[in-house]
């Protein structure tokens, strides 16, 4: 019972964050970015603490993809201020179906809600990474959120072998979509920052 309550609370937090992010996006998006009228079916956030970056990706039922990449969050200067870059794209029907198959697979459904690498002192040495990654799926077949924190990002975000399968595959697929299937449409200084 306690596990289910924790899951429901996590899903509620993801739902509120997704709705809140959607409202925030509507308030701060440049006029060049058209948001779909429906909620995303897949949304992710990858935060890179040491790199000072947040990377959010939203995939919609019609294949629309919106990426919001915030950079220079950790160390900014007047010549290098925090910047938000907007990207849009469209997945083909086949690519969208393959992605849906991955996130509705039994292996994905069986993932725990959270994964965390232990601090180096608890794991007998080693390095704790700076990546926090969350994926939320909201499809008729599955409503699920999975978070992973403390994973490595030293490979430029291409592979994360330490993440459990298929979370590592979901990350890799969505990272590839954000890099290859979207194009920059707007750039803005992030409000409220120096």
Length of the chain: 194
The range of the structural domain enclosing residue 111 comes to 2-189
Q: Which region, left, alpha or beta, applies to residue 157 given φ > 0 means left and ψ of -120 to 50 means alpha? A: left
Residue 60 inside a domain? The answer is yes
The span from the CA of 128 to the CA of 126, in Å, is: 7
- Summarised one tens digit per residue, pLDDT across range 157-190 is 444 557 889 998 999 899 999 999 999 999 998 8
Residue with tokens 């690519």: 95
Residue 50 inside a domain? The answer is yes
pLDDT score at 5? 47
pLDDT score at 23? 40
Residue 6 inside a domain? The answer is yes
Residue 68 inside a domain? The answer is yes
Residue 194 inside a domain? The answer is no
pTM: 0.78
Q: How many domains does the chain have?
A: 1
């Amino acid at each position: 019972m306690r596990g289910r309550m924790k899951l429901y609370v996590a899903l509620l937090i993801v739902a509120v964050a997704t709705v809140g992010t959607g409202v925030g996006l509507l308030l701060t998006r440049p006029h060049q970015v058209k948001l779909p009228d429906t909620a995303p079916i897949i949304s992710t956030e990858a935060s890179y603490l040491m790199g000072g970056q947040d990377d959010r990706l939203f995939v919609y039922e019609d294949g629309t993809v919106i990426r919001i990449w915030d950079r220079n969050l950790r160390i900014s200067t007047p010549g290098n201020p925090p910047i938000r870059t907007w990207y849009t794209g469209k997945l083909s029907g086949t690519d969208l179906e393959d992605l849906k198959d991955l996130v509705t697979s039994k292996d994905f459904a069986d993932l725990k809600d959270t994964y965390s690498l232990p601090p180096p002192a608890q794991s007998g040495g080693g390095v704790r990474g700076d990546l926090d990654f969350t994926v939320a799926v909201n499809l008729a077949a599955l409503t699920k959120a999975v978070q992973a924190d403390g994973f490595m990002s030293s490979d430029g975000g291409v592979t994360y072998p330490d993440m459990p399968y298929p979370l590592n595959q979901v990350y890799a697929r969505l990272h590839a979509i954000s890099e290859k299937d979207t194009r920059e449409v707007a750039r803005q200084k992030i409000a409220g920052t120096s």
